[in-house]
Amino acid sequence: MSVRILKPEKLTACERVDEISGERVLLCKQCGICTASCPNIQEMDLSPRELMHLIQLGALEEALESKSIWVCSSCLQCSVKCPRGIDIAGVMETLRAMRLRARLGCLAPAETLDAACADAPPILLISAMRKLTG
Ligand code: SF4
Ligand code: SF4
């Protein structure tokens, strides 16, 4: 059995995200169910479906620049509903990790949330979203 080991710079954008997340982004069929399920979609600049598409197209830098990866509250609504079984919340986490590993910085809560929520503890916001969205 041969084992293929590639240096990170030889991997495609999809392969890099897949390697860290353990998912297969190319399986995404662009149905948009993740976007329709997301309770935070109104605060996002790119929908989860659009982020998946950018990664598929190799536009990783654009995906990493998106505000959406910081708006995502890891509620898992998208992950449980994806017909292709992709853990989109895990892909979001991967994109955040890639930014942090590259020392590209992150958005502060005050930049991602309504001003009225800026001082609220994250667990309160996640809990409220779960209760309000079922
Ligand atoms: S629900 Fe799954 S298959 Fe559909 S767009 Fe989102 S990631 Fe792709
Ligand atoms: S895990 Fe993130 S992207 Fe998925 S539905 Fe929840 S907030 Fe939206």
pLDDT grade, residue 87 (50/70/90)? very high
Ligand 1 environment, Cβ below 6 A: 28-34, 48-49, 52, 82-84, 86, 88
| Burial grade of 96 (CB within 10 A; 0-12, 13-18, 19 or more) | middle
pLDDT, the chain, mean? 86
Closest ligand 2 atom, CA of 76? 1
Q: How far, in Å, CA of 37 to CA of 35, rounded?
A: 5
pLDDT at 113 over 70: no
The pLDDT tens digits of the residues spanning 49-74 come to 999 999 999 999 999 999 999 989 89
Task: Give the model's pLDDT for residue 132.
Answer: 61
Q: Find the distance separating the first CA and the last CA of the chain, reported in whole Å.
A: 47
Distance 31 CA to ligand 1 centre (A): 5
- Cβ proximity of 77 and 85 under 8 Å: no
Q: How far, in Å, CA of 110 to CA of 47, rounded?
A: 20
Q: What is the largest CA-CA distance in the chain?
A: 57
Mean pLDDT of 110-122: 68
All structural domains of the chain, each given as residue ranges with its CATH number in brackets, are: 10-133 (1.10.1060)
| Stated pTM of the model | 0.81
- Cβ proximity of 101 and 8 under 8 Å: no
Q: Is the CB of 92 under 6 A from ligand 2?
A: yes
pLDDT grade, residue 121 (50/70/90)? confident
Distance 56 CA to ligand 1 centre (A): 12
Please list the alpha-helical segments (H only) found in 22-121. 33-37, 48-57, 60-65, 68-71, 77-81, 88-101, 109-112
pLDDT at 10 over 90: no
The pLDDT tens digits of the residues spanning 89-109 come to 999 999 999 999 988 877 765
Q: How far, in Å, CA of 126 to CA of 73, rounded?
A: 6
